Amino acid sequence: MLDIQKIRKDFPILSREVNGKPLIYFDNAATSQTPQQVIDCIVDYYSRYNANIHRGVHTLSQEATDAYEEARIKIQQHFNAAKPYEIILTSGTTESINLVANGFASLLKKGDEIIVSALEHHSNIVPWQMLCEHVGATMKVIPMFENGQLDMETYVSLLNKNTKLVFCNHVSNALGIINPVKFIIDKAHEVGAAVLIDGAQSSPHIKADVQALDVDFYVASAHKICGPTGVGLLYGKEDWLNKLPPYKGGGEMIDQVTFEKTTFAGLPHKFEAGTPNICGVIAFGVALDYMNDIGFEEIGAYEHELLVHATEKLLAIGDVTIYGTGDKTAVISFNIENIHPYDIGTIIDKLGIAVRTGHHCAQPIMDFYKIPGTVRASFSFYNTKEEIDTFIEAIKRAKKMLS
Ligand SMILES: *Cc1c(COP(=O)(O)O)cnc(C)c1O
């Protein structure tokens, strides 16, 4: 059992007020809040050992380098990568995906095929479209059912010897659906295709084991896992990372430079040009420690309770449609009949409640349901049933005002 009141004390922001009401933060799928332990780490870094890494022989640089590389190992262990250098530190999921898409531009040829799912975030659609246009490859889409689940039968029928890559999110950010990624990976491997799994939305709730999944690439952002913004990771199998060319040129990623020719550094530095977000990476390590100390099983079980509680109460209001059913993380994407999601979001913000409204960077899903958007309430382990009850009262009030 989690001691939620104790956990909440770790998050200073949770005690602030918004519009004269206690903040109820239900926009965790957009970004999570930051515990004091992570805030302290950031203050400590800039107060004591701010320096550039991998370059100086001086003490501060050594300390910063050690802390940065220790964080890489924490991230490696968290995702169970085989080697620390299979973890590439990036500015986030979006950059990680672009790094891979950019690299594949030199590996794909005309006639090759890539497959994406209908549930993707724009950041997992647009880079691949750009790639396909560039190399003359074709993009195919795994369709979804009305309940938000992906159609695995059609997926299998899309696979063939021309399929080179498959991309899918582990959990849909718009609906919270947990996708059958192991099946997707195994089927893709049968035809020799590589698989990238977008773990941005799963990583706050599910501890992924990249070796057990046998996934080729796995990406995530620190800011959704209690860490700071501007940091993320790309896990790649060593063989794949060696095949991909560097993404950005600059300092840190070279071996030898002359004006005639540059040879590149080995992994992971080949992909880490320039000064990285040193403090952010170190703080990401602290965030993972923080969450692992609480325990992902405990987090998952508690958040599931919140999801069940909120779903029941919300449906009881009447005229509510929830999009996406089945195996889900603690996300509820919903609409109330004849009311625009934006109007609901605006009214409940006045009551101190933060939810996301709109298309959630997943317009194809909204097109599928023929809706402009949804209200998305996404819960974290620091939320409570009492907060959900207050939210339900607020939704009732908004419904009365708007209908
Ligand atoms: C948030 C999110 C992204 C984008 O992450 P950034 O941190 O903005 O780069 C991509 N995919 C999914 C599923 C997400 O939830």
Question: Degrees (nearest 5) of the Cα angle 198, 195, 175?
Answer: 35
Decide: 131 and 160 in contact? Cβ < 8 Å: no
Question: For the segment 309-331, what is each residue's pLDDT rounded down to a tens digit?
Answer: 999 999 999 999 999 999 999 99
All domains of the chain in start order, with CATH: 4-26+295-402 (3.90.1150.10), 50-292 (3.40.640.10)
Question: For the segment 218-248, what is each residue's pLDDT rounded down to a tens digit?
Answer: 999 999 999 999 999 999 999 999 999 998 8
27 lines ligand 1 (CB under 6 A): no
Rounded Cα distance between 39 and 227, Å, is: 9
361 is catalytic: yes
**Unique residue bearing structure tokens 């708007």:** 402
- C-alpha closest to that of 89 among 256, 230, 249, 204: 230
Question: For the segment 186-224, what is each residue's pLDDT rounded down to a tens digit?
Answer: 999 999 999 999 999 999 999 999 999 999 999 999 999
Burial of 54 (0-12, 13-18, 19+ CB in 10 A): middle
**Unique residue bearing structure tokens 């977000």:** 277
Structure tokens at 274: 């320039």
Q: Which is the closest atom of ligand 1 to the Cα of 29?
A: 15
Rounded Cα distance between 224 and 206, Å, is: 12
CA diameter of the chain: 71
Structure tokens at 209: 């084991």
Q: How close is the Cα of 344 to the center of ligand 1, in Å?
A: 24
329 lines ligand 1 (CB under 6 A): no
Q: What pTM, to 2 d.p., does this model score?
A: 0.96
- C-alpha closest to that of 221 among 279, 274, 302, 287: 287
